[in-house]
Structure 1
Amino acid sequence: MTGAALAVLAMAALTSCGSGSGSDSGTAATGSVTLKFLIDNSSATVNTAKALADTFMQANPRIKVETETRPGGSEGDNIVKTRLSTGDMSDVFWYNSGSLLQALNPAQTMVDLTGDPVLANVAKDFLPVVSQDGKVYGVPGGTAMGGGILYNRKVYEQLKLEVPKTWADFTANSDKIKAAGIAPVIGTFKDTWTSQLFVLGDYYNVQAAVPTFAQDYTANKAKFATTPAAQTGFDHLAEVHAKGYLQEGFGSATADQGMKLLAEGKGAHYPMLSSQLPPFVATMPQAATDIGFFGIPGTDAAKNGATIWEPAGIYIAKTTENLEAAKKFLAFVASPAAADAVTKAVPPAGPYRITGAKLPDDAIQAAKDLQAYVDEGTTAPALEFVSPVKGPSLEQITVAVGSGLTSAAEGAAQYDKDVEKQAKQLGLAGW
């Protein structure tokens, strides 16, 4: 798409947006206004924000968007909380969606966008992760990503395997892969966070079996160790180790090494987030087409689906003096034109959460595979997007279960205990 066409699309998206409430104090007086936009300092976020700001400013020359960065992690969380509580937040800011948003007291600190034309193009199933008490506060920044199994399509083709829709199919495929002298499953437990995917990526199946699990878990009425569907992720981890599916040296392997093994076809399956792929494609271009994605299979092929990690949200601080300009910017962010602009700057790791936004023809295969789940309506957000309860020690527990040092039942029980302290710190009812 040409820059001119992009600008036309951007302008069309903006003019279709209502004026909203509030006023632009700067526009009337000077004919121009400056929006401050706070983002985290990861390269993907910086590049995405630059593409959004530059394209928006081309179509709206009287509105300047100035980005400022903050650290990621807990340090960045604290900066956002402090600036909101002291009334010193930028006009617009980029922050997590899901459970971390809940701690920001959005009703007091953010502009309520419920029913606003700003949300016209936002995918309806994204809205809950930027909402609290039925009020919507943000639009999606970036793309969703899948949490499931990255697999080598060449290995599947060579062994005439089909993408599994049940766990039994997955283990049958893995047995054939092992017989061919290829590691069926890649483990990279030196980077301990990677050990969690069999558990966290299985949430689609948990929700399909127990639709109220997230609410009951948050209220301390359900546990992993006493809910068979929830313990299944730990069971999978233990089974993969017990059947000898992991490659030699899985305990000391890193995520980068795991991606390389997968791309080279030395391992066939890697439980991982699809966001690991785009940066890797720069060094191993074949990964763009040779690596696909499927959701962690459950027990019923008819209910097959995938767990997704929703993108961050972009929000308007209640203290902004440039409300209409901020709403114009968010309306653009949530438009197909914005998605086109971002795609040119950052290869998408998954589908956009914007109606009408399309993945490019040259998108990585894993993103296309994930888009198919979204199109079919067979996705669920990861548990951390629908419950604030997540313990800090899960990755250590899953390393132990995945290494055969702890049983699946024991690991699930340990994690149930691990979450108690955090739940109490959050002051959740029932704890």
Structure 2
Amino acid sequence: MGPRTPIRTLVAFGAIAVAATTLAACSSAGSSAGDGGKVTITYQTENSPGTTDAAQKFVAAFEKANPNITVKLDTRPQGTDGDNLIKTQLSTGEEDDVFLYNSGSLLQALHPDDTLVDLSGESWASAVLPDFKNAVSTDKGMYGAPWGTSLAGGVMYNKKVYDQLGLTVPTTWADFIANSKKIKDAGIVPILQTYGDTWTSQLFVLGDFANVTAQDPNWAQQYNANDPNAKYSKQPALQGFLNTQDVFTQGLVNQDYASLTNVNGLKELALGTAAQYPILSSTLASLQQSNPDKVNDIGFFALPAQSAANTRLTMWEPNGLYIPKSTTGAKLDAAKKLVAFASSTEACDIQAQATLPTGPFSTSACKLPADVPPLVNDEQKYVDNKQTGLALEFLSPIKGPNLEKILIAVGSGQSTAQQGAALYDDDVKKQAEQLGIPGW
């Protein structure tokens, strides 16, 4: 779904077996270590233009601040090819001295305890926020530093419509439905659904996961272990399916839900012909292209739980910077300096300028620019208030491939929430078995 594909799990928001292209980042190739106190290290990033451009600026700034260290920039393919390349290089001891990669379950597939350097004792580590720390850690260490900003799954809403109708941001599902009915009475589409882009059907479930963990902090661990109580056909995870059904049966979605696309849905939200849209915050970039003059009219809130005490914003964390265990000696010292530099004011600015921030930074060392859209500041408030939680994909490698189709059926009245949840439990089981997950 979107960038990264915004949600790796949604459109699935990967990287391999192709040799990386080497780009000399700044100065000479240099010797591998210590020529008159100088050292050369390598940094690997993805080969997308935006990512490479930011990496070049990052390396240039670092080299200027550290004239005795030369950084050679390597790139790798995106997607599965890139994933496989990293795994191969780690297994042969040929991985770059620092590399950019996913956080969460894809990182766990690299067996970080065996392959990566523990960075938990570094000076910048204390500023890393809990969600990202959880996404790059095991019981034995913390292995990554954040690069870029996070994104969230929740509800984009038109603030002007809310103001005109005297509505306040809902903190419970009952409040959300009550607001939606008032919006409908005013002749405005209350809730957008855009099944013309099938991945968007999943937000009521995937974006609700922080609410699940607020009620059961061990749910993801039990889900991974095939615990019969951690199933989508049972509460608290069932609620996302029930919510998908609820908004349809109460007639609160747009009539063209089956064909409307994400891009056109965002336009309707911007123009105020629709008021609320359950979606990823990363889609703000599309809205900025289509309706730049309306960006400041859009706010963001968490998908409400049944109880306000359990309402949390579900977060998708950014990529991280990692150091393989094959990096040692003077190179390791230099690599640690490069990773630490990512938390510097200059590097934070490079990250913020690389792409439009659509969520908060994952370290308190970096501050959002003063001119970020209001939507991002809304997300930041949940972070500041410690009312966030990780999306399931950062805690589990298991996602059934048919979720979006199942939820379209539920969200269009073709099946009930309970039927859809049961189908998805079967879908998950098949996927877990295919992946060879123990206990399935």
* 2:438 is the counterpart of 1:429: yes
Aligned residue in 1 for 2:318 = 311
* 2:257 is the counterpart of 1:250: yes
Structure-2-length-normalised TM-score: 0.87
Choose which of 204, 222, 225 in structure 2 pairs with 1:216.
222
Letter in 2 for 1:75: D
Asked if the contact 1:55–1:341 (Cα under 8 Å) also holds between the matched residues in 2, the reply is no
* 2:380 is the counterpart of 1:380: no
After TM superposition, the structure 1 stretch with the greater mean CA deviation from structure 2, 383-392 or 135-144, is 383-392
Taking the aligned partners of 1:265 and 1:393, their CA distance within structure 2 comes to 32
Aligned residue in 2 for 1:90 = 96
CA RMSD of aligned residues (A): 2.1
Taking the aligned partners of 1:355 and 1:102, their CA distance within structure 2 comes to 24
Aligned residue in 2 for 1:140 = 146
Aligned residue in 2 for 1:228 = 235
Aligned residue in 1 for 2:129 = 123
Structure 2 counterparts to residues 171-190 of structure 1, below 5 A: 171-190=177-196
| SS across alignment from 2:121 | coil
Taking the aligned partners of 1:92 and 1:399, their CA distance within structure 2 comes to 42
Taking the aligned partners of 1:411 and 1:327, their CA distance within structure 2 comes to 48
CA, structure 1 residues 264+245, in 2 after alignment: closer, same or farther (shift >3 Å)? same
Give per-residue Cα distances to partners, 1:289-312, cap 9 Å, x unaligned.
111110000112234321111111
* 2:71 is the counterpart of 1:65: yes
Aligned residue in 2 for 1:409 = 418
Aligned residue in 1 for 2:165 = 159
Letter in 2 for 1:382: A
Structure 2 counterparts to residues 40-51 of structure 1, below 5 A: 40-51=46-57
Letter in 2 for 1:366: L
Aligned residue in 1 for 2:358 = 349
Give per-residue Cα distances to partners, 1:119-139, cap 9 Å, x unaligned.
243224421210123311111
Choose which of 396, 403, 417 in structure 1 pairs with 2:405.
396
| SS across alignment from 2:260 | coil
Structure-1-length-normalised TM-score: 0.89
Taking the aligned partners of 1:418 and 1:34, their CA distance within structure 2 comes to 48
Taking the aligned partners of 2:376 and 2:137, their CA distance within structure 1 comes to 26
Asked if the contact 2:153–2:206 (Cα under 8 Å) also holds between the matched residues in 1, the reply is yes
Choose which of 113, 116, 119 in structure 2 pairs with 1:110.
116
| SS across alignment from 2:299 | strand
Asked if the contact 1:51–1:345 (Cα under 8 Å) also holds between the matched residues in 2, the reply is no
Aligned residue in 2 for 1:263 = 270
Give per-residue Cα distances to partners, 1:6-50, cap 9 Å, x unaligned.
xxxxxxxxxxxxxxxxxx973422544333222223455334433
Aligned residue in 1 for 2:84 = 78
Aligned residue in 1 for 2:7 = none
CA, structure 1 residues 52+406, in 2 after alignment: closer, same or farther (shift >3 Å)? farther
Taking the aligned partners of 2:368 and 2:218, their CA distance within structure 1 comes to 33
* 2:44 is the counterpart of 1:38: yes
Taking the aligned partners of 1:58 and 1:347, their CA distance within structure 2 comes to 26
Q: Structure 2 stretches of 5 or more lacking a match?
A: 1-29
After TM superposition, the structure 1 stretch with the greater mean CA deviation from structure 2, 66-75 or 187-196, is 66-75
* 2:370 is the counterpart of 1:364: no
- Count of matched residue pairs: 408
Aligned residue in 1 for 2:248 = 241
Asked if the contact 1:185–1:269 (Cα under 8 Å) also holds between the matched residues in 2, the reply is yes
Aligned residue in 2 for 1:11 = none
| SS across alignment from 2:34 | helix
CA, structure 1 residues 394+367, in 2 after alignment: closer, same or farther (shift >3 Å)? same
CA, structure 1 residues 244+100, in 2 after alignment: closer, same or farther (shift >3 Å)? same
CA, structure 1 residues 36+295, in 2 after alignment: closer, same or farther (shift >3 Å)? same
Q: Percent identity, aligned pairs only?
A: 49
| SS across alignment from 1:115 | coil
Taking the aligned partners of 2:431 and 2:337, their CA distance within structure 1 comes to 38
Taking the aligned partners of 2:51 and 2:279, their CA distance within structure 1 comes to 20
Give per-residue Cα distances to partners, 1:273-302, cap 9 Å, x unaligned.
111113531442234311111000011223
Taking the aligned partners of 1:240 and 1:74, their CA distance within structure 2 comes to 36
Q: Tell me by how many angstroms 1:226 deviates.
A: 4.0
CA, structure 1 residues 419+93, in 2 after alignment: closer, same or farther (shift >3 Å)? same
| SS across alignment from 1:58 | helix
Taking the aligned partners of 1:430 and 1:418, their CA distance within structure 2 comes to 16
Asked if the contact 1:208–1:303 (Cα under 8 Å) also holds between the matched residues in 2, the reply is yes
| SS across alignment from 1:29 | coil
Taking the aligned partners of 1:402 and 1:69, their CA distance within structure 2 comes to 41
Q: Structure 1 stretches of 5 or more lacking a match?
A: 1-23
After TM superposition, the structure 1 stretch with the greater mean CA deviation from structure 2, 389-398 or 38-47, is 38-47
Asked if the contact 2:63–2:71 (Cα under 8 Å) also holds between the matched residues in 1, the reply is yes
CA, structure 1 residues 46+282, in 2 after alignment: closer, same or farther (shift >3 Å)? farther
Higher relative contact order (CA 8 A, sep 6+): 1
CA, structure 1 residues 301+239, in 2 after alignment: closer, same or farther (shift >3 Å)? same
| SS across alignment from 1:26 | coil
* 2:173 is the counterpart of 1:149: no
CA, structure 1 residues 36+153, in 2 after alignment: closer, same or farther (shift >3 Å)? same
Q: Tell me by how many angstroms 1:425 deviates.
A: 3.9
Asked if the contact 1:35–1:66 (Cα under 8 Å) also holds between the matched residues in 2, the reply is yes
